[in-house]
């Protein structure tokens, strides 16, 4: 496994060009299957078939037992919908993001590395991927989650610190605070397994990768550090926000999606975090038209500006230069 992994970043940043550039620079890039149709994922897999690559798949959660908190949050968001001139969709409580079809694609295309986020896939899924020659990685945020993941038979665990940008892969979204570092979670996970462990979260400065490798990581996964890469598909509004200097801190919130995620503190986070229920992906679908309208207007106040605690160190430029900076 290569020492630097360009993390899968769903919603646009992860592109075929980003994965290809990572490969040329001696790193490993992951495609992000999340939110995409199976046809779109298949097209990307065909495009990277001849280079080193991985694919990340979301593990679906069961529908919420009680939709009342999400219904209340929908009513709360009516003022945001009015502000941006959009209609809120009806509640969409059952959505598995085409999980089975995406696993089948990974098997069919014999994807070299397949990682899972938001939970633990069934052991039968892991066996099918192993039969296809894939290395299977499961993302965890604690020793408890690592023990549960080990029961599925993965080859590698990804120890995600609370400092990571974007969604936390926690299976306890109601109790997650995001207070851990990559070093913390790496040590926890190494204590319960002899499998290789990838460290993730808060990496952005020269020396961060070396420090985590020295602490026992088999590789280091970085996402935020590549958001402003030339090859990334990051939205212009987020690029502008990250370069503006207006945002000074990140915070963990469920306000946009119902799953804890770390992003730049903005107006939407300030106004809705306290009221946001657990409920991914139902909340994600509710806020989608608001976020789309805000992006069209270039209004960063209602965008999910996912970023880790290392966001101040993010640079622009080609992936090769950014990897060189991290390795410096």
The per-residue pLDDT for range 197-211, each reduced to its tens digit, is 999 999 999 899 999
pLDDT score at 199: 98
Q: What is the mean pLDDT of residues 79-108?
A: 97
**Bridge partners, residue 306, by sequence:** 263
Q: pLDDT-based confidence at 30, cuts 50/70/90?
A: very high
Share of the chain above pLDDT 70, in %: 100
Neighbours of 296 (CB within 10 A): 10
Is the predicted pLDDT of residue 23 greater than 90, yes or no?
yes
Asked if residues 306 and 260 have their Cβ atoms less than 8 Å apart, the reply is no
Give the chain's mean pLDDT: 97
Rounded (to 5) percent helix, strand, coil in the chain: 40, 15, 45
- Interatomic CA distance for residues 1 and 72, integer angstroms: 46
Is the predicted pLDDT of residue 98 greater than 90, yes or no?
yes
- Interatomic CA distance for residues 80 and 136, integer angstroms: 40
Count, residues in the chain: 328
pLDDT score at 223: 98
Neighbours of 266 (CB within 10 A): 22
Report pLDDT digits (tens) over 226-281: 999 999 999 999 999 999 999 999 999 999 999 999 999 999 999 999 999 999 99
pLDDT score at 1: 83
Is the predicted pLDDT of residue 328 greater than 90, yes or no?
no
Report pLDDT digits (tens) over 150-161: 999 999 999 999
- Interatomic CA distance for residues 186 and 261, integer angstroms: 19
CATH for 4-60+96-234+312-327 (3.40.50.720, 3.20.20.70, 3.40.50.2300, 3.30.70.270) = 3.20.20.70
- Interatomic CA distance for residues 239 and 243, integer angstroms: 6
pLDDT score at 327: 82
- Interatomic CA distance for residues 207 and 211, integer angstroms: 6
Residue where the block lists tokens 């979670």: 185
Report pLDDT digits (tens) over 46-72: 999 999 999 999 999 999 999 999 999
pTM of the predicted structure, to 2 decimals: 0.97
Residue ranges covered by each domain of the chain: 4-60+96-234+312-327, 63-94+248-304
């Amino acid at each position: 496994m290569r020492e630097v992994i360009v993390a899968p970043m769903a919603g646009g940043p992860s592109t075929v060009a980003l994965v290809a550039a990572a490969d040329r620079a001696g790193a490993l890039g992951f495609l992000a299957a999340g939110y995409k149709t199976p046809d779109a994922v298949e097209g990307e897999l065909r495009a990277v078939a001849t280079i080193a690559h991985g694919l990340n798949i979301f593990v679906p959660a069961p529908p919420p037992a009680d939709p009342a908190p999400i219904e209340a949050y929908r009513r709360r968001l009516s003022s945001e919908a009015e502000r941006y001139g959009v209609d809120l969709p009806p509640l969409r409580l059952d959505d598995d993001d085409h999980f089975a079809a995406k696993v089948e694609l990974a098997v069919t295309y014999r994807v070299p590395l397949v990682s899972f986020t938001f939970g633990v896939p069934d052991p039968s899924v892991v066996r099918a991927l192993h039969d296809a020659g894939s290395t299977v990685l499961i993302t965890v945020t604690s020793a408890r989650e690592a023990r549960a993941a080990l029961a599925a038979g993965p080859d590698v665990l990804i120890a995600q610190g609370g400092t990571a940008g974007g969604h936390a892969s926690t299976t306890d979204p109601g109790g997650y605070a995001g207070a851990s570092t990559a070093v913390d979670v790496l040590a926890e996970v190494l204590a319960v397994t002899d499998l290789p462990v990838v460290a993730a979260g808060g990496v952005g400065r020269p020396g961060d990768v070396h420090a985590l490798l020295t602490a026992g990581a088999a590789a280091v996964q970085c996402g935020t550090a590549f958001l402003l890469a030339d090859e990334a598909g990051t939205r212009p509004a987020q690029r502008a926000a990250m370069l503006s200097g207006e945002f000074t801190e990140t915070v963990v919130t469920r306000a946009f999606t119902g799953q804890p995620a770390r992003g730049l503190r903005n107006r939407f986070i300030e106004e809705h975090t306290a009221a946001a229920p657990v409920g991914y992906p139902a909340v994600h679908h509710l806020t989608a038209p608001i976020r789309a309208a805000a992006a069209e207007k270039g209004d960063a106040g209602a965008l999910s500006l996912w970023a880790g605690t290392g966001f101040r160190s993010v640079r622009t430029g080609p992936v090769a230069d950014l990897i060189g900076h991290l390795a410096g």
